[in-house]
Chains A and B, each alone.
Chain A
């Protein structure tokens, strides 16, 4: 037997509207703690390096995701990078329109295999090209709290 009775009147279907408030604390972990503390205090980025695989991780991880070795040596990789890819974003996470479209980029940091996803600031969209060098722009030290929001974006290298 399939469903034998079906609703044929569009004014009939009703629903209960519910919501699930979900709140979490997302712990940074050992590597995240070091990374954001260094951004806050020294204004530079840290990587971990796997000498087995010759891969450097930004954001840093305490394990190599290829050979599964534990990683505990951190290197300062500076705040220079280059544009791996970019997009001109017109919407926010909730789907609403942005007042002004923003250029979002994946920036490879230094000669690492990783990087950061953040905004490009101080450019017109036509000026952006893959491979272009950029430099992180951080908030003034007094305003940094130790999170991704300490980074304003990536701007031109002068």
Chain B
């Protein structure tokens, strides 16, 4: 019987606003090569492969056919999950738990700079009959949600701007991050309005990059490496796609995916047990809304916790020490991957200038972006 599953290798290209020198497949190849070197394995020794992609974002019909070569998966069991890296990791976890696979490689990437009409591609996700005919910016869905969240939580636009300030500053210590900067709350509020209360700087810009990780069962993990990073809990959830039927204040998908992951990890009091978290801040307010949904604080307390400094890199619960999506860049299916990468680096003690001392348990949470209400949570530990 398989007891636990661990991450035994991880590799990345890092994240940049543009990558005109390489194709998306070469980008993935670099991350895969590094992951296999990190795991001390060749892909021929890996039992199965999972990639994550959405056809429209890739510019292919049946984009999964273009995945095997660059991860060493030609003529091996391979499949694509049209979801986030963390959802792919959940599939890999389950495959190993069946006992049929000892090792699985998971891949995610973003080549956003290849997408010429990125705003429309995101807009095509809206309901074609009820919503899309209005030809609204996809950010308007987030603008609607932000207004409602601020109303219910009593948080302010100024406090949301502080999330951006914190995360872009954190990104200054992350060599992988594309958008580190020292900015002020005033800079965020003075940036162009996109869909008020959202300003341009409240929204994570896109970045390119790839991440590959190798999972292994407990026995294999203990043979392969000194510090396997264990998957203690994993959960995912999707609310209705009908915007009109949603609860606009609460991120129910995040609450339910966290509850699933906490149950699996045996965590009753997440705020006390979790040492640090990488959570979705694709829009500034989302970090606060997600903190509450993940029960890292009480409803309505996230903004207060932020202002107290508790979520800063020296605080008691550092959030988005990597810089988050606001500092690293929005990475489509690789959004969860950069969070898992940060957890692995921190839990191995390899995070350099941004290393948090004495960390054992980290949480990664991701959201699939507007107009979705899909999210996933993973809890990793080094013990």
A contacts, CB < 8 Å to B = 1-3, 6-7, 10, 12-13, 15, 17-18, 20, 24, 26, 28, 32, 57-59, 61, 65, 84-95, 101, 104-106, 113-119, 125, 130, 147-149
Instruction: Indicate which residue in B61, B133, B137, B192 contacts A92 across the interface (CB closer than 8 Å).
Output: B137
- Decide: A94 near B195, CB < 8 A? Known: A26-B129, A59-B130, A87-B146: no
Which of B87-95, B166-174, B218-226, B239-247 contacts the other chain? B239-247
How far is B61's CA from A86's CA once the two chains are assembled, in angstroms? Answer: 36
Whether B130 lies near A148 (C-beta < 8 A) is yes
- Decide: A89 near B244, CB < 8 A? Known: A24-B128, A28-B129: no
Question: Which A-B residue pairs are the 4 nearest by beta carbons?
Answer: A87-B143, A95-B119, A85-B148, A91-B137
Whether A18 lies near B242 (C-beta < 8 A) is no
0/1 string, B120-142, CB within 8 A of A gives 1: 10010000111111111111100
Whether B196 lies near A148 (C-beta < 8 A) is no
Across chains A and B, the number of contacting residue pairs, with CB separation under 8 Å, is 138
Whether A86 lies near B147 (C-beta < 8 A) is yes
Identity of the chain B residue whose Cβ is nearest the Cβ of A113 in the assembled complex: B245
Min CB distance, A24 to chain B, in Å?
7
- Decide: A87 near B140, CB < 8 A? Known: A94-B120, A130-B147, A130-B148: yes
> Known pairs A12-B21, A85-B248, A88-B196. 15 more at Cβ < 8 A?
A2-B33, A6-B21, A26-B129, A28-B129, A59-B242, A65-B242, A85-B145, A87-B146, A89-B143, A93-B120, A93-B137, A94-B123, A94-B135, A106-B243, A115-B244
Which residues in B have their C-beta under 8 angstroms from that of A105? 144
The CB with the most chain A CB atoms within 10 A, among B21, B120, B240, is that of B21
How far is B117's CA from A18's CA once the two chains are assembled, in angstroms? Answer: 12
Instruction: Indicate which residue in B30, B129, B193, B248 contacts A106 across the interface (CB closer than 8 Å).
Output: B248
Whether B130 lies near A116 (C-beta < 8 A) is yes
The CB with the most chain B CB atoms within 10 A, among A15, A85, A113, is that of A85
- Decide: A117 near B144, CB < 8 A? Known: A32-B129, A93-B119: yes
Identity of the chain B residue whose Cβ is nearest the Cβ of A17 in the assembled complex: B116
For B, the interface residue count at a CB cutoff of 8 angstroms equals: 50
Which residues in B have their C-beta under 8 angstroms from that of A20? 59, 61
Whether B243 lies near A117 (C-beta < 8 A) is yes
How far is B114's CA from A86's CA once the two chains are assembled, in angstroms? Answer: 33
How far is B48's CA from A70's CA once the two chains are assembled, in angstroms? Answer: 40
Which residues in B have their C-beta under 8 angstroms from that of A15? 20, 114
Asked whether B26 is an interface residue with its Cβ less than 8 Å from the other chain, the reply is yes
Instruction: Indicate which residue in A65, A87, A116, A148 contacts B198 across the interface (CB closer than 8 Å).
Output: A87
How far is B193's CA from A10's CA once the two chains are assembled, in angstroms? Answer: 33
Whether B34 lies near A87 (C-beta < 8 A) is no
Instruction: Indicate which residue in B117, B119, B144, B240 contacts A85 across the interface (CB closer than 8 Å).
Output: B144
The CB with the most chain A CB atoms within 10 A, among B120, B128, B140, is that of B140
